[in-house]
Structure 1
Amino acid sequence: MIHNLQSCESLSKPYMRQGKIFRNLGFWTIGAVYILILIGGIVRATGSGMGCPDWPKCFGTWIPPTDISQLPSNYKEIYGAKLKGEIEFNALKTWIEYINRLVGVLIGLLVFATFLSSFFTFWKKDKVIVTLTFIATLLVGFEGWLGSKVVSSELHPVMITLHMLVSLIIVFVLLYAVARSYNEIIEIESITDRTSLSFLLTATMFLTVGQILLGTQVREMVDQVSYLMGETLRTEWVANLGGKFKMHAFFSIIILAANTLIYYKVDISITEKKVVFKLTKWLMIVIGIEMISGLSLAYLGFPRFLQPIHLTLGVLALGIQFIIYLLLNKERVFRSMASPS
C-alpha cells in the first residue's frame, strides 16, 4: 500500500508540473489576445486599417517599406483604389497594421502551443480541455482568414464587427479551458444566493457583448463623422453621431447598474470573502475606469489614445464576468462536461 501511495505521488508530481505549465501558457496566451484587441483598437483609432492594402503581404512584400522610395513608381495606380483616397504612402500607418498582423501570428503560435500542452497534460484526464484548446486553434486560423476579408472588403463594418465577435469567442474558449484546469485545486467561498446571482451574471454578460459590438458600430460612425466634419470640429462630433451612440450611452448606465448589483449580491451572499469577492472588486474597478474613459471620449472630442483603451477595458470586464460565472457554477458546469477517463 505504501509502495502504491509513493507511486501515485511520483506520478502526480509530473502531472502537477505539466498542469502548471499549461496554466501559465494559457494565461500568457489570453493576455496576448487582449493585447491584440488593444492593438486592433489602435489600428482603428489611427485609421491604419488599410496601412497594408493587400494581404498577407504588405505592399507586395513580407517586410513592408519604411520609405516611399522602396515602392514602385506606379504604386498609386496599383493600390490607390484600396486606400480610400489616402493615396500617399504613410509609413507609420503601414507599420501599425503590420505589427497588428505580426502579433496575430504570435497568438496563433501561442494558441497552438497551448493546445499541445493541453494534449500532453489532460488527454487522459480531461479531454474537454484538449478539445477547447483545439477549437481555439481553429478559431485563430479563422480569425486570420477574416482579417484578409476585412482588408479585401476595404474595412466593411459587418466584417469588422464579425472580426471582433470571433475575438470574443476565442477569449471565452481559452478562459474556460484554463479555468477548468483549476477545477481540482481551487476552492471558492460558500455562496447563499448562487442561482439568482448566476442568472444576473448571464444577463449582464449578454448585455456586455451587445454593448461591445454596438461600440464597434459607433466607432464606424465616428469615422464617418470625422471624415465629413474634419479635425477642427472634433469636439462637435458627438452631437452628430445619432441614435446608436445614444443607445450605447444608455446601455452603459444599465451595465454599470447590473455590475453594481452583482457586487452587492456577492458582498451580502458571502461570509468568507476569497476568490469570487476579489474578482468582483476588480470587475467594479474595471467598469469604473471603463465609464470614465467613455465619458472622456464623449466630452473631450474622442482622444485617439482612449479609443483602444475603452474597447480593451470592455472586453476585460466581460472576461472577469465570465470567470466569476464559471467559479460560481464550478461543480455543475465542469462536472457536466467532464470526459470519461
Structure 2
Amino acid sequence: MTSSTHIDIKANRRFRRLALNTVIVLYFLIIAGGVVRSTGAGMGCPDWPRCFGRWVPPTEISQLPANYKELYGAKLKGEIEFNPVKTWIEYVNRLLGAFTGVMIFLTLLASIPFLRSGNKRIFYYSLSAFILVGFQGWLGAKVVSFELLPIVVTLHMLLAIVIVFLLLFLFTWSAYAGNILQLKESSKKAIGGIGVLVITLSLIQILLGTQVREAMDEVIHKLGYQARNKWIDELGLNFYIHRSFSILVFIVNLYWINRIFKAEGRESIAGKIAFACFWILILEIVTGILMAYFGVPPFAQPLHLTFAILLIGLQFVIWLVVNGNKYLKYSSDIRLEKSTI
C-alpha cells in the first residue's frame, strides 16, 4: 500500500464524517429556525450581531437600559416588550448558525486533499457551500433589519435548501468513493426522471408552505398569539392550495417509492432511504393535520418544516444514488486505490 493511497483513504473517511455531521448540524439549525418562527421569537434580538447591544443576551429586564423601548421600539413599531425566552430562542438560533458555519469551514478544509487526487469539483462544491453559508448569515441579518419581510424570509429558506443539497451531494459522493454505496443498474432512467418530478413537487410544496407562513404572520399580527385556534380560519386561499397540493405530493411519492422497491429492492440503499421517505411523509402530513385542526400547536410548526426539508433532502440522495454512475463518478481514483489495499 502506497503512502498516497493511505492519505486518500483517510482523507475520504475524514471528509465523509465531517460532511455527515455538518448536515446533521444544519438540520438542527433548520429546527431552531422553525422554533423561532413558531414562537414569534424572530425579533427576540432586535439588533444584529449583538442582542440588545450585548454579546451575551440579558435574562431579565433589569439588565436593560431604562429607555430600551425608545432605543428599539421605533424599529419594531413601538410594540417591543422584553421576553427573555424569545430573546434566548433567537440567540441560540444565531449560535447554531455560527456553529454551522464553522462545521462547513472544517468540511472545506477536509476537501483540500481532493485537489491533488483528480476530484477538484469536490473542493469547489465545498467552497461553494462555505460561501453560501456566509451569504446565508448575511441574509439572516437582513431578515432582522427588514423586520421579517416575507420575501427575505423565503429566500433565507430556499438558500438553506441549496446548502443542504450541496452537503448531501458531498456526503453521498464520499460514501460512493469509499465503496459504501452499491449501485444497481435497473430502471435508472425511469426512476431518475420521476425523482426530478418528486423533488420539484416537494420544492413547490415548501414554497407554498412559506406563503402560508407569511399569511399566518399577518394573522398573528392581527389576532395575537393567544388566538391560535382562529389562525387557520383567517389564512385564506393560500392555505387551501397548500393543503390540496399535499395530496398530489403524497400520490406521486407513493408511486415513486413503489417503483424504487420494484427496481432496486427494499434492502438496497435506495430502497431503505425510500422507506424512510415514506414515514417522513406520513409524519409531515400528521403535523400538518395537527396544525390545521388542533389550533396550530407550537411544537408542530418546526417539526412540519423539518420533515419537509428532511424529505426533500432524502429524495435528492435517492436521485443521486439511482443516477450514481452519471453524477458521482467524477473520478475513480479513490475507489481504485482502496481496492488495491
Query: What is the TM-score when the length of structure 1 is the normalising length?
Result: 0.93
- Hey, what does 1:93 align to over in structure 2? 86
Task: Kindly indicate whether the alpha-carbon contact (under 8 Å) linking 2:8 and 2:113 is maintained by their aligned counterparts in 1.
Answer: no
Deviation at 1:61, TM superposition (A): 1.5
Partner of 1:3: none
Q: Does 1:19 align with 2:19?
A: no
Deviations 1:37-63 (A, max 9, x none): 000000000101111111111111211
Deviations 1:202-247 (A, max 9, x none): 0111111121122122112122223323455432322221111111
CA distance in 2 between counterparts of 1:203 and 1:272 reads 21
User: Given the alignment of the two structures, is residue 62 of structure 1 paired with residue 58 of structure 2, yes or no?
Assistant: no
How many residue pairs are counted as aligned between the two chains?
Answer: 333
Equivalent of residue 306 in structure 2, options 306, 309, 312: 312
1:7-156 mapped onto 2 (5 Å cutoff):
8=2, 10-121=3-114, 123-156=116-149
2:308 is the alignment partner of 1:324: no
Identity rate, percent = 42
Closer/same/farther in 2, CA of residues 272 and 310 from structure 1, 3 Å limit? closer
Following superposition, the deviation at residue 69 of structure 1 comes to 1.3
Deviations 1:172-205, CA, capped at 9 Å, x for gaps: 1111112112233134353532212111110111
1:69 is aligned with what amino acid? S
Distance 2:310 2:260 in 1: 19
Between 1:240-249 and 1:221-230, the stretch displaced more is 221-230
Distance 1:153 1:64, change over 3 A: same
Residues 258-310 of structure 1 show CA distances to partners (whole Å, capped at 9, x for unaligned) of 11011111122235831111111001011111111111110101101110000
What CA distance in whole angstroms lies between the structure 2 residues aligned with 1:46 and 1:202?
A: 34
Task: Please report how far the alpha carbon of residue 18 of structure 1 lies from its aligned counterpart in structure 2 after TM superposition.
Answer: 2.1
Q: Please tell me whether the aligned partners of residues 172 and 322 of structure 1 are also in contact (alpha carbons under 8 angstroms).
A: yes
Q: What amino acid is aligned across from residue 64 of structure 1 in structure 2?
A: P
Q: Distance in 2 between matches of 1:108 and 1:87?
A: 30
Q: Which amino acid aligns with 1:274?
A: S
1:259 partner SS: helix
SS where residue 169 of structure 1 aligns? helix
Q: Is the 8 A contact 1:129 1:181 kept in 2?
A: no
Helix, strand or coil at the partner of 2:203? helix
Match for residue 176 of structure 1? 169
2:207 paired with 1:216:
no
Provide the rounded CA distance (Å) in 2 between the counterparts of 1:246 and 1:70: 45
- The aligned residue for residue 194 of structure 1 is 188
Farther-moved stretch of structure 1 (218-227 vs 96-105): 218-227
- CA distance in structure 1 between the aligned counterparts of 2:47 and 2:11, rounded to whole angstroms: 41
After TM superposition, the structure 1 stretch with the greater mean CA deviation from structure 2, 46-55 or 192-201, is 192-201
Whether the aligned pair in 2 keeps the contact of 1:236 and 1:301 (CA below 8 Å) is yes
Q: Distance in 1 between matches of 2:68 and 2:271?
A: 57
Cα deviation for residue 11 of structure 1 reads 3.5
- Cα RMSD after superposing both structures: 1.9
Structure 1 portions without partners, runs of 5+: 1-5
Q: Which runs of 5+ in 2 are unaligned?
A: 335-341
- Rounded to whole Å, the distance in 1 between the matches of 2:23 and 2:214 is 27
Letter in 1 for 2:5: S
Checking the alignment, whether the CA contact within 8 Å between 2:108 and 2:126 is kept in structure 1 is yes
The residue aligned with 1:162 is: 155
Q: What CA distance in whole angstroms lies between the structure 2 residues aligned with 1:271 and 1:88?
A: 56
Question: In structure 2, do the counterparts of structure 1 residues 231 and 69 end up closer, same or farther at CA, with 3 Å as the change threshold?
Answer: closer
**Preserved contact between residue 118 and residue 331 of structure 2 (Cα < 8 Å):** no
**Gap change, CA 1:131 and 1:123, over 3 Å in 2:** farther
CA distance in 1, matches of 2:214, 2:74: 20
Contact 2:111–2:123 (8 Å) recurs in 1: yes
Cross-structure match for 2:337:
none
Structure 1 position 314, deviation (Å):
0.2
Residue of structure 2 aligned with 1:235, choices 212, 215, 229: 229
Cα 1:271–1:203, aligned 2, differ >3 Å: closer, same or farther?
closer
Structure 1 pair 49–198 and aligned structure 2 pair: CA distance change class (3 A)? same
Greater alpha carbon shift after TM alignment, 129-138 vs 237-246: 237-246
TM-score, normalising length: structure 2: 0.93
Taking a change above 3 Å as real, the CA distance of residues 22 and 188 of structure 1, as seen in their structure-2 partners, is: same
Mark the CA change 1:144 to 1:339 in structure 2 (over 3 Å): closer, same or farther.
farther
Give the distance between the partners of 1:232 and 1:148, measured in 2 at CA: 28
Secondary structure in structure 1 of the residue aligned to 2:82: coil
